[in-house]
Structure 1
Amino acid sequence: MTTPASPQASPPDLDQPLRLHPLTYLDEGEEVTVGRADIDSYGLFPPDGAALLRRLEGGEPPRAAAAWYTEQYGEQVDMAEFIEVLAELELLAKDGEKVAQPTGPVRWQRLGRAVFSPAAWVVYGLLVAGAVAAVIRTPALMPRYQNVFFTHSSLVALMLGIVLGQVPWILMHEAAHALAGRRLGLNSSLSIKRRFYYVVFETALDGLVSVPRRRRYLPMLAGLVVDVVVTSGLTLGAAALHDASGTAGLIGRLLLCMAFVVVMRIAWQFYFFLRTDLYFLAITVLGCNDLQATARQVMRNRVMRVLRRPGSMVDESTWRERDHQIARWYSWLMVAGYGFLTLILFTVAFPSGIRVTEMAIHKLTHDFSALNAADVFTFLVLNFFEPVIALYLAIRAWRSRDRTKRATAPAAPAA
């Protein structure tokens, strides 16, 4: 069966000016980031390519701009291919499409500036200092795993404190990233994704590539800042209720439980290979663009060399020099990290899951009642919903890639 070819777009008239959307430029020496802030579409151009694009944006026809480029740099430019790249990045206005209007102030920009104002930093510092002083005065407030078991009366209450009790702090973490970006006038979006067998919330700040590197650090670290402040606030709240009995004592223990889990999320950020906040901070400091993808391809090429399959190797000429340089050692760190998490999965996660299931069944068999049955069932659902969601997201991603491969596969020749 033959597949009809899609209609080809008509070649651009090289003697007519192009219609370009409003563009932003960030010159970083060897590369210039150019893109559209309204849809967060950006590309890396060499300085001479950015200069050529500026002339096109200024209204110069492509043929005349190409002649200028040859005169200026002593090289020919394939203008049709250059225009194709602009179209792929959606920098060109299509036929019948209106040119985008320059973006104005984004929502919540004032709030972002207030949250990270000098006065706010003073408040954050006082909270952290107060929490440190409280822990020194009362060592029992120190985050420790025993704090997780803040109640023994109900398995559901225990899981609600651990799982659902983290939802507001996770949202505050991501909101901090978004507000730090909005403070700079950048758009942001929140999504649910998977990191190995973890389910995570992720704030997209693609527009960060359009601001100088020194201004990217706060949006990347804003979530960690909030985590430290939240831990301090929960510790101070628990300190106020320390040694209390009844409901007040239970609330104090719940606060310590939530503080410990937040501390564990802070530690999780050091798993660079899961593309955490600290990973993005590191690649910004190191001057990399897509270190993770390059490291995967470096490792793939190593495996293909061992298997003597050079035809399956990735073309190394497509890698940025800085990414390749760092990926040589980072790829081994990435493999070690995934190996460590796999070890944790089989030595801690699986045994822990079996243990809590045994606890639930033990409680049910020794005192079967409708209340206990509901308690145990809800506990098991809350305990296992994250790995189930992670598995679902993995299967969905695999199916999506499979559909993409089939859609881009060449059509079978006609019989």
Structure 2
Amino acid sequence: MATVSPDLDQPVRLHPLTYLEEGDEVTVGRADIDSYGLFPVDGAALLRRLEAGESPNAAARWYTEQYGEQVDVAEFLEVLEELELLVKDGEEAPQATGPVRWQRLGRALFSPPAWACYGLLVAAAVAAVIRTPDLLPRYPHLFFTHSSLVVLTLGIVLGQVPWILAHEAFHALAGRRLGLRSTLSIGRRFYYVVFVTALDGLVAVPRRKRYLPMLAGMLLDVLVVCGLTLGAAGLRGSDGAAGVVYRLLLSMAFAVVLRLAWQFYFFLRTDLYYLAITVLGCNDLQTVARQQLRNRAVRLLRRPERAVDESAWTDRDRDVARWYSWLMLAGYVFLTTTLLTAVIPTGVKVTRMAVHKLDTNLSPANVADVLVFLVLNFGELFLAGYLAARSWRRRTRTAAPAAPPAQAA
């Protein structure tokens, strides 16, 4: 890591910064690399003096005159360096860039005409369901054919992956319309494998503008259910291939409804979790809640040396985590109970049925049907286990380095 110049009488160079003032805190950071820090109002004011070209010592004297307190400006510069806000020696500060890619598309998708089209689509779907109640998504719609392979491949896997990617794309486009960068990755929520769109730049956006990027994915899910329902309505009563497509559309619609319901598992950091912490004014509620539970446990076990330092918690996170931590624990207990009493027994039964099916028919088509079914049925659990093991190894390497590192807070 490059070190800060010891000459505190010379101005420092800073990257282009963004500021968002909220109450007695200011979020400051770099939009080009999504690196942000939370500063008190006086700290942000000091940073603005440095950005205006004052030397660290001159800015420190101004701070003392303004607030009546001394500031360790060298330590302050170290914080800026850790956040990568300082331009290093020999490095050129990036110039302001133009609009991010797909920004125009994002604005078009969330423009007033687009919202009018979305409203008409939802109204038409509701009217179709009222007229034909059989179109309402229901559990039996999942099994639109007798082939387990076709059900999993077309209805659940291939029939859902495009909609999942579209869900994440709506998150990204809703953020890009605000000029935010985004990244897509594969992550894990307990034993679920998920796609994750990172919009770190939202922390530098006023809270009222954060809600749409957070809920855009669920909006897309609703539109997909409505579109699939209307498509099925047009094919209702058909025979042959059209009849298969009719049943497939209803199957996909119900699977999307299941994913919408999954968003209410907010303790798994779903879209509704991020909505909740924004409304509640929290910063990192999930981490604080986990650490509160850990500290309660170590106090009960009388192992205070293993407690987590609470000094980094914000007051709001601390207050909300007092009740949210118990809700989160109950949620994990519920999912663990479901895993032990439903998921695993169902998996065992499905495996037995597959083996029995092989005993009665060893034709290539039947063998392929069974093997692909088992891979698709259990692949998510194995992938979730792999991601969990990889995350644990990374944490272990970080927690137990070979040599004392220069750590950044």
- Name the TM-score class by shorter chain: over 0.9
Instruction: Report the secondary structure of 1:101's partner residue.
Output: coil
**Structure 2 unaligned runs (5+)?**
none
Query: RMSD in angstroms over aligned alpha carbons?
Result: 1.4
Matches within 5 A, 1:189-208: 189-208=183-202
Query: In structure 2, what is the equivalent of residue 305 of structure 1?
Result: 299
Which of 38, 46, 52 matches 1:58?
Answer: 52
Letter in 2 for 1:17: P
CA distance in 2 between partners of 1:264 and 1:348 (Å): 17
From 360, 366, 384, give the equivalent of 1:366.
Answer: 360
TM-aligned CA distance change 1:364 to 1:8, over 3 Å: closer
Correspondence for 2:41 among 37, 41, 47: 47
What one-letter code is carried by the residue in structure 2 that aligns with 1:119? P
Per-residue CA distance 1:119-166 (angstroms, 9 max, x = gap): 1111111111111111112111111111111100x2211111211210
Alpha-carbon shift at residue 356 of structure 1 (Å):
2.1
Provide, for residues 334-378 of structure 1, a one-character-per-residue CA deviation record: whole Å limited to 9, x for no partner: 000000001111122112212222232232222221111111111
Where do 1:319-398 residues align within 5 Å?
319-398=313-392
Q: In structure 2, the residue corresponding to 1:339 is in which secondary structure?
A: helix
Cα offsets for 1:307-353 (capped at 9, x unmatched): 11222222223210000000000000000000000111112211221
For 2:166 and 2:365, the matched residues in 1 are separated by 34
Give the deviation of 1:15 after TM superposition. Answer: 0.4
Partner Cα distance (1:357, 1:314) in 2:
43
Counterpart for residue 220 of structure 1:
214
In structure 2, how many angstroms separate the alpha carbons of the residues matched to 1:366 and 1:128? 47
Q: Confirm whether residue 244 of structure 1 aligns to residue 238 of structure 2.
A: yes
Amino acid at match of 1:363: K
Tell me: CA distance 1:296–1:397, structure 2 relative to 1, closer, same or farther (3 Å).
same
Which letter maps to 2:353?
A: M
Q: 2:149 aligns with which of 137, 153, 156?
A: 156
* Pairing partner for 1:288 from 272, 282, 288: 282
Contact 1:37 1:103 in 2 (8 A): no
TM-score by length of structure 2 reads 0.96
Distance in 2, Cα, partners of 1:120 & 1:75: 53
Q: CA deviation at 1:38?
A: 0.6
Q: Which amino acid aligns with 2:124?
A: G
Return the alpha-carbon distance in structure 2 between the equivalents of residues 186 and 336 of structure 1. 35
How big is each residue's C-alpha offset from its partner over 1:244-301, in whole Å with a ceiling of 9 and x where there is no partner? 1111111111111111110011010011110000000000000000000000111111
DSSP-derived class of the 2:3 partner: coil
8 Å contact kept, 1:199–1:390: yes
Greater shift in the superposed pair: 238-247 or 17-26: 238-247
TM score, norm. by length of structure 1: 0.95
Distance in 2, Cα, partners of 1:362 & 1:290: 49
Letter aligned with residue 170 of structure 1: I
